[in-house]
Structure 1
Amino acid sequence: MSSSIKKIGVMTSGGDSPGMNAAIRSVVRTCAFHKITCVGIYRGYQGLIEGDMEELSARSVRNIINRGGTILKSARSKDFRTPEGRKKAHENLLKEGIDALVLIGGDGTFTGGMIFNEEFGYPIIGIPGTIDNDIYGTKFTLGYDTALNTVVEAIDRIRDTASSHDRLFFVEVMGRDAGHIALNVGVGAGAEEILIPEENLGLPRLLESLEKSRISGKTSSIVVVAEGDKTGKNVFELAEYVEEHMPNYDIRVTVLGHLQRGGSPSCYDRVLASRMGVKAVESLMDGVSNYMVGIANDQLILTPLDQAVKGKSEIDKELIRVSEIMST
């Protein structure tokens, strides 16, 4: 391993996700293990521009592995999108003697890191943290597993009400560009229909499916809708359309929203974050830069940041087939 890295900065950016704190903890303690100074940068790129940072020790990150959100905070930074803002950020890194950065976030975070690397040749490693699981180059992102469990628990409770009152519930989950959450929780929670961006079910097909469910004797139904689904303009208009054509249904809409982002990370996310943090620091020590740490077949892998940003995560086609069989 290279001995040229003496000080590493770590930051979180974009939307928070469960497991970010576990990743911060892992980066800090891996640095301590290798006798590297670690600096926490607050409020993402904006904090980097403003010099909002402090040195973190192994004890600084005690009792955070179980906490959701991020102790380093997160913020959108318009200033970092300008050459002047990035120049100021670079100056602050040089001033603090920071040799490399670990970025925890999603595609927006990685895009900023790529630009920064291109302009200043600054060593960067990314750790994917987003509940949507929409980053190419990894089977799972930090927070995704926790979000699945949170949503399934919520839908289980909604089903109790749906069954008691013979209602049809449309439940909207996060997933503007990818339907991973909707597809997996739909199968896991036994939804009658699952609407995702990758598969445009179409309104006539949805009505046909709900009618078949009614005829088969189902008195209540759950339809899981990813927020990026193309079937309707939004979940409320979708519900209105069904109500108009199937007036016998008592229809309700639940939007889970930011409820999905919070909460204590699952064991899987804690372990994954710990593994990724170690890999990120040791990759920088090996001279690797401009890559993202990912996982495939339970092995940690490295993917170039440009591929992680430009690539598209693939929806599980087999799981779509399973969902169609299970909704019979």
Structure 2
Amino acid sequence: MKPNIKNIAVLTSGGDAPGMNACIRAVVRTGIYNGINMFGVLQGYQGLINNNIIPMNARSVSNIIHLGGTILKTARCLEFKTDEGMDLAYENLKAHDIDALVVIGGDGTFTGARRFAERHGVKVIGIPGTIDNDLYGSDFTLGYDTAINTVIAAVDKIRDTADAHDRLFFIEVMGRDSGCIALRASIATGSEAVLLPEQPTSIEDLIKQLETGAATKKSSSIVIVSEGHKQGGAYDIAKLVKEKFNHYDTKVTILGHLQRGGSPSSFDRILASRLGFAAVNELLKGSTKQMVGLRGNEIALTSLDEALAAHNFKLESDLLEMTKVLSI
């Protein structure tokens, strides 16, 4: 039997990601289309605790599909990890007669959502919104494609100046535990090497790669470094390399939070719309404690338990091999 859902709230939590606004738009308008009263929670779980919950209509989400960030704002909330904070959040939901919750975020967001559902029986659906693409159950997460495109645009510009001055650039990208951005950006920009958290690369092996390029008259070299590489960030790696290999003028660029912002790509806008649409429809079917994701080209459900337990998955073996083959 379908649940009697009349009121649904949506929130964004954790790190922002391009496409979150497009997803909020899809959630709100899908709910309204189905006769549901829709609410937005400002500043994630902190907003639930502070009772910062507002009604939303179709016009509340006009002209936001192209915007980065999140109109609902986001925050990391330690108080929500406590029983007292979670109980207060639940009381605020009840005060608004909210029957179900759509949460957009990463593993920390889903951990909170799962515990909230288990403690208070709240119906909840998660939507993967993180540029790291490190949640099991979806081939792509919101913001991942846009973040890669941002890195590509930056590296293409850096390549111009690297070629002009015979320079070696170490470019650090986000990915504390996941090398997804670094790996794909490396392929797309034709970098000479990539350093990933999941794969050990010795300084000696890196220097051999760079020496091979120098011997074959490469006018510049680009090394993409994921911030979570075991031997340190771009500055650390650059220092170690420069001590033993000084063929090029060595420079370091940290792209940082530049990767989180900007207008979402067409892929992220469509993915966000599909996942937002699916999340509401799954709640109306009776689903709860599930994540909606994209597998192949189909929307699929993954339990929050499974998405969190297996959230680190292997990088594509063909891409890993390509980084060596295509960089000669």
Once the 2 structures are TM-superposed, how far is the Cα of residue 247 of structure 1 from its aligned partner?
2.2
How do residues 129-148 of structure 1 correspond to structure 2 at under 5 angstroms? 129-148=129-148
Q: Does 1:170 align with 2:150?
A: no
For the residue of structure 2 that corresponds to 1:156, the secondary structure is helix
Once the 2 structures are TM-superposed, how far is the Cα of residue 3 of structure 1 from its aligned partner?
5.3
Tell me which residue corresponds to 1:84.
84
How do residues 1-328 of structure 1 correspond to structure 2 at under 5 angstroms? 2=2, 4-230=4-230, 232-311=231-310, 312-328=312-328
Aligned mates of 1:3, 1:36 — CA distance in 2: 12
Aligned mates of 1:64, 1:135 — CA distance in 2: 25
TM-score relative to the length of structure 1: 0.98
Q: Percentage identity across aligned positions?
A: 52
Aligned mates of 1:248, 1:206 — CA distance in 2: 14
One-letter identity of the residue aligned with 1:96: H
The CA deviation string for residues 98-132 of structure 1, in whole angstroms up to 9 with x for no partner, is 00000000000000001111111110100000111
List runs of 5+ in structure 1 lacking aligned partners.
none
TM-score relative to the length of structure 2: 0.98
Once the 2 structures are TM-superposed, how far is the Cα of residue 309 of structure 1 from its aligned partner?
1.1
Aligned mates of 2:236, 2:226 — CA distance in 1: 14
Moved more, 234-243 or 93-102: 234-243
Once the 2 structures are TM-superposed, how far is the Cα of residue 219 of structure 1 from its aligned partner?
2.1
One-letter identity of the residue aligned with 1:8: I
Aligned mates of 2:180, 2:25 — CA distance in 1: 27
State whether residues 3 and 286 of structure 2, in contact with CA within 8 Å, keep that contact through their aligned partners in structure 1: no
List structure 1 segments (4+ residues) > 6 angstroms apart after TM superposition: none
One-letter identity of the residue aligned with 1:165: H
Moved more, 2-11 or 92-101: 2-11
The CA deviation string for residues 165-196 of structure 1, in whole angstroms up to 9 with x for no partner, is 00000000001111110000101000000111
Root-mean-square deviation (Å)? 0.9
For the residue of structure 2 that corresponds to 1:8, the secondary structure is strand
Aligned mates of 1:66, 1:313 — CA distance in 2: 30
Once the 2 structures are TM-superposed, how far is the Cα of residue 248 of structure 1 from its aligned partner?
2.7
One-letter identity of the residue aligned with 1:323: T
Once the 2 structures are TM-superposed, how far is the Cα of residue 217 of structure 1 from its aligned partner?
1.1
Aligned mates of 2:218, 2:287 — CA distance in 1: 56
Once the 2 structures are TM-superposed, how far is the Cα of residue 201 of structure 1 from its aligned partner?
1.2
Aligned length in residues: 327
State whether residues 12 and 44 of structure 2, in contact with CA within 8 Å, keep that contact through their aligned partners in structure 1: yes
Aligned mates of 1:298, 1:89 — CA distance in 2: 36
Once the 2 structures are TM-superposed, how far is the Cα of residue 198 of structure 1 from its aligned partner?
1.1
For the residue of structure 2 that corresponds to 1:251, the secondary structure is strand
For the residue of structure 2 that corresponds to 1:139, the secondary structure is coil
The CA deviation string for residues 117-150 of structure 1, in whole angstroms up to 9 with x for no partner, is 1111110100000111111110000000111111
Aligned mates of 1:147, 1:251 — CA distance in 2: 25
